[in-house]
Amino acid sequence: MLKLKPDFYTNHLTNVDAEWLHHQKIKLVLVDLDQTLVNASSQAKDKANEWIRN
């Protein structure tokens, strides 16, 4: 069974931008929008949704 293991952690999704992802050759970003892994405030969820849209 394949387990996903993160290579990078951040306290805020907005600390990461597309240029950094490209420079690091990161092709996939998994985001826990439905809070199944970690309970987040609605403000954090709103910021994550905004980051994804941009």
The CA distance from 28 to 21, in Å, is 9
DSSP assignment letter at 34? T
Tell me how many helices (H) and strands (E) the chain has: 2, 0
Query: Between 10 and 40, whose confidence is greater?
Result: 10
pLDDT grade for 52, boundaries at 50, 70 and 90: confident
Radius of gyration of the chain from its Cα atoms, rounded to whole angstroms: 12
- Report the sign of the C-alpha dihedral through residues 9, 4, 17, 34, in that order: negative
Q: What is the pLDDT of residues 2-26, one digit of tens each?
A: 677 778 888 777 888 888 889 999 8
The mean pLDDT value of the chain amounts to: 76
